[in-house]
Amino acid sequence: MKLERRRSSIEIIADILRLGEAGKTEIMYSVNMSFFQLQKYLKYLLELGLIDKVTVGNPTITYRVTEKGVRLLHNIEAILKILEFTDDDSINDLLRLSTAGQREKEREKELEHVR
C-alpha cells in the first residue's frame, strides 16, 4: 500500500546525502527546498559530521558526504525499503558514495592526533 504524504526530515536528509558531493544550488534544486531550509539542513548535517564543507575554488564550495553520512544513508534506505517508501535505485547510490569512507577515516585519525 502506497501512502501519499509529505517527505519527513529523515527523507530530506537522505536526499541530500544521496547527492554525494554538490554545491548549494544543486542541492537546493535536486532536493526541492528553499534556500532558508537548505541552510538549516546543511548546518545540522555539518554539526553531526554527516557532510564536510569542501572548498574547490574561490569562492566555490561544495558539500561532500562523509563515511558517517554514508552509514546513516544506508540505514535510512533499509528502513524506507522495509516501509516500501523507496525503490532499489537508491541502494546503488550507496556504492558510489562508499569512497568517501576512506577520507572520513583519515580525517578522524588526524583529529585524534590533535587531541
| Residue pLDDT, tens place only, 66-100 | 999 999 999 988 887 887 765 444 444 444 454 45
Average pLDDT of the chain, as a whole number: 79
pLDDT value, residue 58 = 78
* 9-110: CATH topology: Arc Repressor Mutant, subunit A (1.10.10)
Q: Could you tell me the end-to-end alpha-carbon distance of the chain, in angstroms, rounded to an integer?
A: 51
Which run of H or of E encompasses 35?
helix 35-47
The amino acid present at 109, given as its one-letter code, is K
